[in-house]
Every structure is written in structure tokens, then in C-alpha cells.
């Protein structure tokens, strides 16, 4: 997946959250990313789960969808692999 820091993403329901939400990637890791959840995206009970982290959550890459400013999914560009010499 071609995700990068500062990308806007959409996350479907996960084990931690029963509601989907939008956010911005703040840090990338090998299999996950730290996402800053946009205000008013989660119900109050779920917002309480992340308040101590400043609205930051760790989400697996496979649970994130790259979206544009309007929330429309962006097609993933195919990354070409270079042949080893």
C-alpha cells in the first residue's frame, strides 16, 4: 500500500472502534501507522479510549483506505518493482 505521512485516510470498523472514522497519518511503521483522528469522528465512549493519547491511534495498514479531501477513495497506484541485478 502506498501510504505516507500526512495522507488523509479512512478506517472501517476495527476491534477497538465500532464506528468508522477519518484521520491523518502522523507516523508510518512497517505494518501500521499512527493516525490522528479528525474531531467529531467517533462516539463519546470511543473518544474516551483515546483521549490520553491526544486522539492518536495505531491502525494496521490493511485497515486504512487512502482518501481525498472529500472522503472519496483514491485508487492505489501500482508500484513497480525494480529487477535485482
pTM tops 0.85, yes or no? no
HEC states along 31-48?
A: CEEEEEECCCCCCHHHHH
User: What's the confidence (pLDDT) of residue 29?
Assistant: 93
30-40, pLDDT tens digit by residue?
999 999 988 87
pLDDT score of 55:
81
Q: Where are the domains of the chain?
A: 8-66
Q: Name residue 59's beta-bridge partners.
A: 33
Q: Which residue has the higher pLDDT, 60 or 46?
A: 60
Binned at pLDDT 50, 70 and 90, residue 56 comes out as: confident
Amino acid at each position: 500500500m502506498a501510504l505516507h505521512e500526512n495522507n488523509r485516510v479512512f478506517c472501517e470498523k476495527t476491534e477497538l472502534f465500532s464506528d468508522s472514522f477519518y484521520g491523518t497519518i502522523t507516523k508510518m511503521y512497517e505494518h501500521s501507522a499512527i493516525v490522528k483522528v479528525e474531531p467529531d469522528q467517533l462516539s463519546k465512549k470511543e473518544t474516551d479510549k483515546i483521549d490520553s493519547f491526544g486522539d492518536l491511534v495505531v491502525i494496521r495498514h490493511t485497515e486504512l483506505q487512502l482518501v481525498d479531501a472529500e472522503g472519496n477513495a483514491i485508487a492505489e497506484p501500482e508500484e513497480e518493482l525494480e529487477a535485482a541485478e
